[in-house]
Structure 1
């Protein structure tokens, strides 16, 4: 398949997906659909033993989902496609690694942190600023309580404040933090360590992990998605935050 907004490279038993929309690598509907297709292609390529996600350019991984796609006329389709990426990811038998060199925000943060392992450069920052737009991140609310302490989830998602790679490492969201100049070497070392192991054992281990995660995660995601679409999206504040962002002004909350 030909891709326009991502790069898919399969080489030496590694599948590499690069979000190719620099400088911000925004996830619009086409980009997310291409990621879903790439994941399907990877699932059907048994020679692939590891999957790496990264962002093109020098700024960062991804600044998140296109804000306009959160508006009422497209929000249902946006959530269907966006969450479809993660429903494909939990079906993967190969370990996934995100490599962050700069920002990973909103949906970009969710995509990176949903990977099995994360390597970040020292300059990297991650964050879920959704709440500052009068919104919340359904995927993050469904998944992050499985990754870190619930009180940290509340702080991270309710304040909308970004955190450094070092803090993300301390609370368990990032595995390794290295200087930007050493990022590729760290990636190669981690991937290399996986390729030396039995892919049968790794695939079985992922299946075992999935048995504890997939069903409760999908159940939570369905419920939270319903709250987003039925409670938040139709509200004044839910729309006001998005419109204010697009109009580059401060939002006027009406608490309704």
Structure 2
């Protein structure tokens, strides 16, 4: 029996300066436990490499990611899923190197939370970015921390409460992405080559720590509170399980508003 392909492909290029992390479970590139573990393992193996000056995350197929596994949001698995996923996000938020993300197609839920750890997001013109968790009767803990930092409280609340998605152009205008390009991977590599490749890796590490120190600590503190809200309040009610189950059963949810 042929072993399944790994959920993430990792390699070094640009003469040892750039770590590439490629989500490799198209078309959805669901951020399940296996993919989260593979991303964490790649970071563990490579982030200490001397001379590394950046990380680029992109994805195989037409979509960056449909988000975290809905099955792993169910009560028996959600505590472990939140713990491991949030640990990964915090690690990328303080790598301590610039992280670039190239987005095509749908970038939703946990996929957008992953992208929001980036120094810069490069999006294809047809990309759609959103946090649809509210439609499933749940909320997005990490996005609730990261979105206000990036686009301000009012715009963040719009996305978190409505569940709607932004086009690439809307996301650029809002400040959620920093560039729109027909080939976002090539645009990210070009930006890396122009702005980071000739820098001192040591200087970049210190500059990232200096620039992000307060933000990382704010997110870290808030995430703990929101994990508790998710597990101790939301998941003990009726509607969260109903919404997740309805999604898996491909039917409309029957809310009881509790």
Report whether the alignment pairs 1:65 with 2:61: no
Q: Give 1:215 deviation, angstroms.
A: 1.3
TM-score by length of structure 2 reads 0.94
SS of residue paired to 1:130: helix
Q: Give 1:114 deviation, angstroms.
A: 1.6
Whether the 8 Å CA contact 1:40–1:88 is kept in 2: the answer is: no
Q: Give 1:209 deviation, angstroms.
A: 1.7
Q: How does 1:23-38 map to 2 (within 5 A)?
A: 23-38=27-42
CA distance in 2, matches of 1:183, 1:235: 41
Q: Which residue of 2 aligns with 1:225?
A: 227
SS of residue paired to 2:64: strand
SS of residue paired to 1:205: helix
Q: Which residue of 1 aligns with 2:8?
A: 6
Q: Which residue of 1 aligns with 2:52?
A: 48
Match of 2:213 among 199, 211, 222: 211
Q: In the comparison of the two structures, how many residue pairs are matched? A: 251
For structure 2, list consecutive stretches of 5 or more residues without a partner in the other structure: none
SS of residue paired to 2:116: helix
SS of residue paired to 2:156: helix
SS of residue paired to 2:139: coil
Whether the 8 Å CA contact 2:22–2:57 is kept in 1: the answer is: yes
Q: Give 1:210 deviation, angstroms.
A: 2.6
For structure 1, list consecutive stretches of 5 or more residues without a partner in the other structure: none
CA distance in 2, matches of 1:51, 1:4: 19
Q: Which residue of 1 aligns with 2:116?
A: 113
CA distance in 1, matches of 2:85, 2:186: 31
TM-score by length of structure 1 reads 0.95
Report whether the alignment pairs 1:20 with 2:24: yes
Q: Which residue of 2 aligns with 1:191?
A: 192
Q: Give 1:42 deviation, angstroms.
A: 2.5
Q: Give 1:186 deviation, angstroms.
A: 1.1
Q: Give 1:46 deviation, angstroms.
A: 2.4
Report whether the alignment pairs 1:147 with 2:147: no
Whether the 8 Å CA contact 2:21–2:56 is kept in 1: the answer is: yes
Q: Give 1:159 deviation, angstroms.
A: 0.1
Q: Give 1:166 deviation, angstroms.
A: 0.5
SS of residue paired to 1:47: coil
CA distance in 2, matches of 1:91, 1:37: 16
CA distance in 2, matches of 1:153, 1:240: 25
Report whether the alignment pairs 1:160 with 2:163: yes
Range moving further from structure 2, 150-159 or 212-221:
212-221
